[in-house]
Structure 1
Amino acid sequence: MRLVPDPPTPDDDDEFTLTPRQMHIVAIVARTLADSAYDDIDTHGDAPVTAGADRSVFTEYPATTWDQPAAWRRHAARSFDDLAADAESGRSPRPTCTGEEMALHLILRRASALHHDGHFDDELAAIPRHPEDSDWAGPLDYLFEDHDVLTLFDGITPDDGVNLDPPAWFDPFEPPRARDPQRGYRR
């Protein structure tokens, strides 16, 4: 007699995940944003981002992050790469820290816009269609634990104990789920 069901496995049919086409798009967009971030670091180093600057993906981050050093931005760039690697391996790109939450919000926003504009039509032709391919709102519900990082765009100051202060963005939410800290950087 079983009183408690087995916990869901990553292959559980009831687990919400991106469609194969969405995974492909997310991986491409995440790598593109990572490249943009690394290019910005190479070009601007520790120089702060300024309002109205036409300067890579970091202009899309909350203003509270604009004065972060190049080392912080390298962590941000790696967040895009980590989420791309998840999608490329067929795993749902679930954020493990605030930096990855911000990265995934930017990835999904850009992926949705490019997909709806037909940007990926040719390369998606070989990937089977799924009824949810165009649903980019659903992943906002099931890939994130919360959307607290977005409150930074409203100028809300982080409370103590919350990972919204930029220096804490790359601290893992749950240490057992943390990514390998020795994984290095692509660039």
Structure 2
Amino acid sequence: MVLGIRVTDWPALRAAAVAAVEELDFSGADPAAQRSELLREVSEDPHAALGALLHPDRLIGALPGIEALGGTLELSTTDDFAPDFAELFPLDGEDGEAGDWTLTPRTACLLHTQLLALADAAYDDLEEHGDEPVLPGEDAEWSVFARLPHTTWAMHRSWRRTMARTFDDLAEDLGLGEWPLPRCAAEELALRFALADARQLLTSQPQAVADLMGELPADLYDYDWDGCSDELLGVYDMGVDEEDEEAGVRLEQLLAATHPEGWFLTYDEAEEREPGRGYRR
């Protein structure tokens, strides 16, 4: 049997998984350590949370008259449930009609794709390098973290993992039909990377982008990266003195004046993201 599952409420899933782990009986040399480790896993990873809730022993144990003799549970991600960007970002005007600037389905799709690709690349960096510092001349060995300002090159694994999550957070905004408005300095940087990569991909591989779009409706504002920069970046007050400056200048000032640990602090005017939302990896 194959089930397609979409996680729609990660906090609720996490809470249910934590409760399930608390009910489990552990054996071995250190049951407390086993429970603690599994609690950590289900609190951070939706796959681990699903695994705890869908474990065969737990499912079979709730059914009368049978017992579990063994078996395995396999969980895997799939691209079958890609967001419907035509529905999430509907076009108001007729084909060819110019109206107010909007984030179009095709732009949202390509930006979403690049954000997920950057998140994957950042997590790959993390798995390969861990806490290793980025060293001058070794940029080619890194996919994402060597692109960040030098002040971050020696940051620890936990910081890098949180940075990787910023790409997923912005991608999730798009998947919910919302404009990906950065809520902190790290997200500003993440969105700038995604915009730059989307522009580069469209230039270098136009056919691949066309194939990705499929039947999504076209619009005059498709791939308007300058418009994206104007409308999506620097929307919230960054808390710097020169608010009249261009968003990129304000971001540079903020990054230079703030320790990297502070890059994840939510802007005063922005809504804070769910603190316990976990990580994809």
Q: Structure 2: 5+ residue runs without aligned partners?
A: 1-89, 93-98, 235-246
1:169 counterpart = 2:263:
yes
1:81 is aligned, of 155, 168, 173, to: 168
SS in 2 for 1:30: helix
Shift of 1:80: 0.3
Q: Which moved more, 1:104-113 or 1:167-176?
A: 167-176
For 1:116 and 1:94, how far apart are their aligned partners in 2? 25
Query: 1:50 and 1:77 mapped to 2: Cα distance?
Result: 19
Q: Note if contact 1:95-1:143 (Cα within 8 Å) is conserved in structure 2.
A: yes
1:50 is aligned to 135
Query: What residue number does 1:158 align with?
Result: 256
1:37 equivalent in structure 2: 122
* Deviation string, structure 1 residues 133-172 (Cα, Å, up to 9, x no partner): 13111111111122247537xxx9833xxxx321101010
Could you tell me whether the CA contact under 8 Å between 1:102 and 1:149 is conserved in 2? Answer: no
Deviation readout 1:58-81 (Å, 9 max, x if unpaired): 111111111111111111100000
Q: Quick one: distance in 2 between partners of 1:107 and 1:123?
A: 16
TM superposition outliers: structure 1 runs of 4+ over 3 Å: 13-17
Question: What is the root-mean-square deviation in Å for CA atoms of aligned residues?
Answer: 2.3
Give the direction of change, closer, same or farther, for the CA distance of 1:128–1:148 in structure 2 (3 Å limit).
same
CA distance in 2, matches of 1:42, 1:77: 12
Greater helix share, structure number: 2
> Displacement of 1:123 after TM fit?
1.9
Match of 2:180 in 1: 93
Distance in 1 between residues matched to 2:278 and 2:172, nearest whole Å: 13
CA contact (8 A) 1:101 1:149 kept: no
Report the TM-score, using the length of structure 1 for normalisation: 0.82
Tell me, in whole angstroms, the C-alpha distance in 2 between the residues paired with 1:131 and 1:176. Answer: 30
Q: What residue ranges of structure 1 are gaps of 5+ in the alignment?
A: 1-10
Aligned to 1:121: 210
**Residue 280 of structure 2 aligns with which residue?**
186
Structure 1 residues 182 and 137: CA distance shift in structure 2, 3 A: same
1:61 matched to which residue of 2? Answer: 148
1:140 to 229, 244, 248: 229
Identity across aligned pairs (percent)?
A: 40
The number of equivalent residue pairs is: 169
* Higher relative contact order (CA closer than 8 Å, sequence separation 6+): 1
